Amino acid sequence: MTLRVLEKTGKAILLAVAGGCLSGIPQAQCADGPDAIFEKPEPVAMADLAHRTTEGVSAVEVKDYAPGHYTGPMKPSPPHADLNAGKAVVVFWKDRSQRLVFSHEASYCPWLELTNGEGMCNQFFEGNLGDAELFNNGGRKERNSFVDILQRGPRRVWVRWTYFCVNLQDDTKPRLRGTEDYFAYPNGLVLRRMTYESLMPGEVAGYSTQPVELFGVLPAGSVFKDLFSRDAEHGDWNVLSALDLYSDRRYDIYWDEKGGVRRRGNDATLVAIWQSPGCALVIPFRQKLLFAVLGQASGFPPKNNRLVDHCTPGAQGGSGWGTGIWDHWPIGWTNSQTSFWKAGSPFAYSFGSIGQFLVPDGKPLISFWRDYSEYCKDMDFNRWTERHVFYVLLGAAGDWDAIRRIGRSWLDQGGDCARPESIVRVQGKFVD
C-alpha cells in the first residue's frame, strides 16, 4: 500500500492511496483487499439463508443447496466428486431478486439464478477441442475446482473461483488452470474477471479459445415453454439472444415444442453484433432478462471475437445441434460430458447455446469444426489467449433498453471497466 501525506489547514492527513479511503475508515468499507478475519464462518442451511438479510450484498457458504429447486434425494447420484453435492456459495442482495450461485454439483461454475430456479451460466475456459473441461466426474472434485470468499459484503462481495480443466477419463494431468474473480455490488451487478495458465505449454490441449458461452439452467420439473415469452405469430419461444449495445440490432433464437429452431436475424446480423464495440448475450426469461456484456474495452477485440449460433441448422460457423438440452449438469447424475435430457426428467438441466470464441486476427468461423480445429493449432494465438485477462459484466434487467444502457455505461469507461468499482458507476434501469 502506498502512503502519502498531504498538508491541509495546517494538519497532516494520511491517505491510503491503494484503497482510495481515508486511513480512519474501517477496512471493511475500503474494499481494497480480503476481509480481515481469523475464523471462517460455518456453512448454513438453505432454510436459514431464506431468513437472512443484508445491508447491500453478501456471500455465504451453504451445505444443502440443490440447483433448480430440486428437492429429491441425492440418489441415485453416482459416487462422484467428493460426495458433498450440496456445498455451495450463494451471493444475495438486499433488494434484488437474483442470486449468484457457485454450486459444487456444477463444479462451482456459477450462474445468476432467479426466484423460480431458472438461471444463466457463461461456462469457463474449456480446453481446446473438448479435450478437458469441468462437467465430468473429475472436474467436480474439490481438488480440481474450488471457491473462496475473499470479501463477504455488505458493500462488496469478492469470490474467487479456481479450477483445473481435466480430461474425462483421467484427471491426473490437468490441461490448464483457470482463475476467475467475481465482484458483486449492491446495485445488483457482477464483474467477472477471468484468465488462465496452461499446464501443458507445449500442447494444443493445454490452451483455451472459448472463455464465454451462453447456457441456461431450467428448474426441476419445468419445460422451456413455462419460462419464456411466446411469439404471437409463430407460436414458438425466444430462448437465447445476442444484442448489439451500440445499435438496434438483435439476434433471437426461437424453439418450438417439436424440436424446431427458428432465428430472427441472419448470419450478417450476428457478424455485425460481434463486430460492434460491445454486445450482450441474453437469456430472456419472462421473469427477468439475464445478460452477460462483453466488448472491446473489456478485452474482446472485434478482430478476435466471434459469436456462434449453435442451435440453428445452417447458421454460419455453428454446430447446428438444434434444441440443445442436457441433464449432465447442474445435477451430476451421469459421469459424462454429454447426457441428453429426456422428457419427464425430475432434475434441473441445462440448455443452449450461443458460443463465444476467440480466433486469430480476422479469421472467420464458417465451418465450425474445420475452422475451430485448425485455429486451435496456432500456438502463437494460444499463447495470446493465455496472456490476456478478460472481463464480463453480469446482471438482470427488466427490458432490452436497460441492458443497452448498462452495457454502454460500463464499456464507455474504457480501460477502467477492468476495475471492480467500474460497475458502481454504471448508469441504467434496474427493475425487479
Q: Is 216 in the same domain as 353? A: yes
Q: Is 306 in the same domain as 374? A: yes
In a domain, 24, yes or no: yes
Q: Is 153 in the same domain as 196? A: yes
- Positions of the chain with pLDDT lower than 70, given as ranges: 1-31, 74-81, 328-338, 428-432
Q: Is 28 in the same domain as 75? A: no
pLDDT in tens, 163-197: 999 998 899 999 999 999 999 999 999 999 999 99
Domain with 27 in it: 1-32
Q: Is 284 in the same domain as 187? A: yes
Q: Is 230 in the same domain as 257? A: yes
Would you state the pLDDT for residue 377?
Answer: 96
In a domain, 40, yes or no: no
Q: Is 288 in the same domain as 215? A: yes
Q: Is 26 in the same domain as 49? A: no
Q: Is 66 in the same domain as 172? A: yes
Would you state the pLDDT for residue 81?
Answer: 65
In a domain, 38, yes or no: no
Q: Is 376 in the same domain as 237? A: yes
Q: Is 119 in the same domain as 225? A: yes
In a domain, 430, yes or no: no
Total domains, the chain: 2
Would you state the pLDDT for residue 19?
Answer: 36
pTM: 0.91
Query: At residue 368, what are phi and psi to the nearest 5 degrees?
Result: -55, -65
Query: At residue 429, what are phi and psi to the nearest 5 degrees?
Result: -100, 120
Q: Is 267 in the same domain as 335? A: yes
In a domain, 3, yes or no: yes
Would you state the pLDDT for residue 23?
Answer: 32
The alpha carbon of residue 74 and the mean position of all alpha carbons in its chain are separated, in whole angstroms, by 25
Would you state the pLDDT for residue 315?
Answer: 95
Would you state the pLDDT for residue 325?
Answer: 87
In a domain, 429, yes or no: no
In a domain, 220, yes or no: yes
In a domain, 105, yes or no: yes
